[in-house]
């Protein structure tokens, strides 16, 4: 993908029709640029050449995973990929304010189509198409686009109206939006300084659960297995940790406590009959306390700063890795 901006920069540097497009493709400077890019890739990833066959095998495996596997229920009903990325991933990647600024800047740049814009588009458009094709569409795939969308949002400051008041209003609105993004970014950064909800749940369980007790964990189907659960010591004879593949076997096992995280049920509740309506109904009943267990404790980390909360109601899967919502249920 990095070759597209190199090619675009080379073609855009030609002035006054000195060289045609065809002749420009065979310019020695272009070959130097492409050769330098290939050399840089080889230096920073030497084993792509040292173990070339292994590199190709891993590339094929990763491609199959992205295009065909689907990663459990996470990406069911998320097509077309371009719409999903544009209206869901981008919205949560930077929040509603950044979404408006980025889309407005993108539209403005498309209308102006200056050379600097075309150079940025030479990266944004091919990369956006690339991440929209696979079944798997994690929000982290969008990260390489965010700096360039930020640049395009800055283009809005170039807009000039015939009157001074609209100009001042636009500048004030842009600065207010930038301040909001600074606060939002600081709130998310603050999560890294807080105790992980999984550790909070672990400490609380070890301090408050009467012994002996059986604790049931539910295996998530979204790739994390049991990594979304508190890291309890499984060598204790008084605090027995039991692992279940689904909610139903956990209910049939009658442990004293069941720990559920939003990774266990959020996609099942979202998809309903598209995935498994019976399991959806069972989770609804369980969470509402109708299946013999009551909620006694909840742990979650919400990005907050100055009394403002961020994060949205249903963020992408990989945006809550470090802040799963953990609920502890006790058998009645």
The DSSP code sequence of 106-144 is: HHHHHHH--HHHHHHHHHHHHHHHHHHSSS---GGGGGG
- Domain identity same for 88 and 201: no
Residues 6+ apart with CB under 8 A from 66: 134, 135, 136
Give residue 22's pLDDT band: very low, low, confident or very high (50, 70, 90): low
Give the per-residue pLDDT at 21: 52
- Domain identity same for 97 and 165: yes
pLDDT digits (tens, 9 = 90+) for 283-309: 999 999 999 999 999 999 999 999 999
Asked if the model's pLDDT at residue 16 lies above 50, the reply is no
CB atoms within 10 A of CB 237: 7
User: Rounded distance, CA 217 to CA 263, Å?
Assistant: 12
What are 298's strand-pairing partners? Answer: 327
- The whole model's pTM is what? 0.85
Rounded mean pLDDT, 99-115? 92
- Domain identity same for 199 and 316: yes
Residue 54 in any domain: the answer is: no
Give the per-residue pLDDT at 209: 92
The overall average pLDDT reported for the chain is 89
Domain that holds residue 280: 195-331
Rounded mean pLDDT, 317-321? 91
Residues 6+ apart with CB under 8 A from 261: 220, 228, 229, 324, 325, 326, 327
pLDDT digits (tens, 9 = 90+) for 117-166: 999 999 999 999 999 999 999 999 999 999 999 999 999 998 888 888 98
In whole angstroms, how far apart are CA 327 and each of 139, 151, 262? 25, 41, 8
What percent of the chain clears pLDDT 70, i.e. is strictly above it?
A: 96
Domain count, the chain: 2
User: Rounded distance, CA 293 to CA 267, Å?
Assistant: 21
User: Rounded distance, CA 172 to CA 177, Å?
Assistant: 9
Asked if the model's pLDDT at residue 20 lies above 70, the reply is no
Give residue 17's pLDDT band: very low, low, confident or very high (50, 70, 90): very low
- Which of 193, 213, 244 represents a domain boundary (last residue)? 193
- Which of 162, 193, 224 represents a domain boundary (last residue)? 193
- Domain identity same for 156 and 223: no
Residue 262 in any domain: the answer is: yes
- Domain identity same for 278 and 203: yes
Give residue 31's pLDDT band: very low, low, confident or very high (50, 70, 90): confident
The 3-state DSSP class for residue 153 equals: helix
pLDDT digits (tens, 9 = 90+) for 180-239: 999 999 999 999 999 999 999 999 999 999 989 999 999 998 878 889 999 998 777 788
* 108 phi, psi to nearest 5 deg: -65, -45
Residue 204 in any domain: the answer is: yes
- Which token pair is 246? 């689904």
């Amino acid at each position: 993908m990095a070759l597209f901006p190199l090619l675009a920069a080379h073609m855009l540097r030609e002035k006054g029709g000195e060289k045609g497009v065809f002749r420009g493709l065979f310019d020695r400077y272009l070959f130097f640029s492409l050769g330098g890019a290939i050399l840089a890739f080889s230096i920073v990833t030497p084993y792509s050449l040292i173990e070339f066959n292994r590199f190709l095998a891993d590339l094929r495996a990763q491609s199959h995973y992205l295009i065909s596997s689907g990663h459990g229920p996470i990406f069911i009903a998320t097509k077309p990929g371009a719409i999903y990325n544009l209206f869901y991933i981008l919205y949560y990647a930077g929040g509603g304010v950044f979404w408006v600024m980025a889309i407005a800047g993108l539209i403005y740049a498309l209308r102006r189509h200056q050379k600097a814009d075309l150079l940025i588009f030479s990266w944004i458009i091919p990369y956006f198409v690339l991440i929209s094709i696979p079944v798997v569409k994690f929000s982290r795939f969008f990260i390489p686009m965010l700096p360039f969308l930020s640049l395009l949002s800055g283009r809005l400051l170039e807009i000039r109206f015939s009157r001074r008041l609209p100009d001042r209003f636009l500048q004030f609105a842009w600065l207010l939006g930038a301040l909001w993004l600074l606060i939002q970014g600081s709130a998310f950064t603050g999560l890294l300084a807080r105790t992980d909800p999984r550790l909070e749940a672990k400490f609380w369980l070890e301090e408050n659960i009467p012994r002996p007790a059986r604790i049931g964990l539910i295996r998530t189907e979204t790739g994390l297995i049991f990594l979304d659960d508190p890291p309890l010591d499984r060598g204790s004879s008084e605090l027995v940790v039991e692992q279940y593949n689904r909610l139903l076997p956990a209910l049939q096992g009658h442990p004293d406590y069941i720990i559920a995280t939003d990774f266990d049920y959020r996609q099942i509740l979202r998809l309903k009959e598209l995935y498994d309506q019976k399991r959806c109904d069972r989770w609804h009943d369980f969470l509402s306390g109708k299946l013999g267990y009551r909620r006694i404790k909840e742990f979650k980390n919400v990005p907050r700063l100055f009394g403002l909360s961020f994060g949205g109601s249903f963020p992408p899967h990989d945006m809550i890795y470090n802040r799963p919502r953990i609920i502890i249920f006790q058998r009645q």
